[in-house]
Amino acid sequence: MAYAARPRASGYQSVRYSSDIANATDTAKTPLFQLHEAYGAKFVPFGGFSMPVQYSDLSVGDSHNWTREKASLFDVSHMVQHYISGPGAAAFLERITPSSVSVLQNHHSTLSCLLHPTSGGIVDDTIITKLTPEKFYIVTNAACRQKDSHYLGQELKNWREQKQPEVQWETLDGRGLIALQGPLAHEILSAVLPSKSGDLKTLYFGQCKQLTFHLPSGQAVGDVIVSRGGYTGEDGFEISIPGPETASITEMLLESAGPEKLRLAGIGARDSLRLEAGMCLYGHDLDDTTTPVEGALSWIISKDRREKGGFHGSDVILGQLKPKKDGGSGVSRRRIGMVVEGAPAREGAEIVDENGDVVGKVTSGCPSPTLKKNIAMGYIRNGLHKSGTEVHVIVRGRKRKAVITKMPFVPSRYWKGGATPG
């Protein structure tokens, strides 16, 4: 049976978003644009913004390796930051996502997905952080800004028409977001925080603190959200900062650590790092035709949600969790990782079986600077998704051997306790 792409779900705006989207002639600028220029950044359009792809001091590959060995600082202010708050905030989020946010502890986060109401397709992937029982901090993808705005606006309209408990939604436009990533991240951030901020060793992966930073000028910058996590597989922090102070805090980190420990890194290294870490890029590895089960994200569906359902697309998604022999629908395809021999397989390359039948498609691929191998992510027919399965990928008209491989390709080093980080 040949692999076939699924039709798009109807209703919400369905667009395949590209990482180099979009408004290439009219791109926005983050609060760090001038700092990037001063450090010799090369810019590309990304998610509607002019974003640094690399800097003059390091190649993309060298920047990737620097992050794995020391620490890098990424500008991710193009991402969309939101507050969802009010008495109905938790229940609203539990309608549109498969996560049990009501039972999250304060200052804890979870990866989740905004779901299409009927198909269960992924409208966007998101990080949800519970600040208080009635206030949640949410980060969504820049390339999905318009689609997500339409989606959340429509969902809130439906919610209010049903006379549900009040929910407020605020988009934090202009707020900065930087990602400090790498084995020295803990040391670097600790060095600029006052002692009363507490020991970062007790801030574990998936947790956050709301802190005040003190600049060398003596100015105190409050309302800073420091979350432990990131998109590289390394230990690190994502730091949400009031827009006007973003450059000052970034410069303080760079100057305190010095170039022997910390360098700026662009979206070129960020992409290869996230692929080694087995993380998805929306619009490539996930889209609104893909459910969490197909996307190998079943683990984000909380146990109680599997039992009770009640979230968008739950009939479809819960049916997919059960194989056909147990009365479910199962899935026809699954997201997988591969190691490819010869030339690297890029997005769109076909995966074929031993008979030459198309059984899947590559969604992301690149040479791995860490492993010195060609790695790829994609979707393959269910049943061929087990690790060790041998297939072929068509690269430049030639069949290349590939082996289905567990992800992450490079072991993650998130801080969950144990030996001192860094």
What's the pLDDT at 330?
93
Percent helix, percent strand, percent coil in the chain, to nearest 5: 25, 30, 45
Q: Which CATH number does the domain housing residue 111 bear?
A: 3.30.70.1400
What's the pLDDT at 15?
32
Is 80 exceeded by the pLDDT of residue 14?
no
Q: How many CB atoms lie within 10 A of CB 22?
A: 19
Domain boundary among 149, 171, 193: 171
Question: Do 72 and 101 reside in the same domain of the chain?
Answer: no
CA nearest to 232, candidates 4, 346, 72, 90: 72
Question: Do 165 and 209 reside in the same domain of the chain?
Answer: no
What's the pLDDT at 417?
84
What is residue 299's three-state secondary structure?
helix
Q: Establish if 322 belongs to a structural domain.
A: no
| % of the chain surpassing 90 pLDDT | 89
Domain that holds residue 137: 80-171
Q: Is 276 labelled a binding residue?
A: no
9-18, 125-134, 141-150, 196-205: range with lowest mean pLDDT: 9-18
Domain boundary among 120, 146, 171: 171
- pLDDT band at 66, cuts 50/70/90? very high
pLDDT in tens, 283-299: 999 999 999 999 999 99
Domain boundary among 245, 265, 285: 265
What does the CA dihedral 254, 255, 257, 263 come to, rounded to 10 degrees? Answer: 30
Is 50 exceeded by the pLDDT of residue 5?
no
Q: Establish if 167 belongs to a structural domain.
A: yes
Amino acid at 192: V
Q: Which CATH number does the domain housing residue 72 bear?
A: 3.30.1360.120
Amino acid at 161: E
Question: Do 66 and 199 reside in the same domain of the chain?
Answer: yes
Q: What mean pLDDT do residues 117-130 have?
A: 98
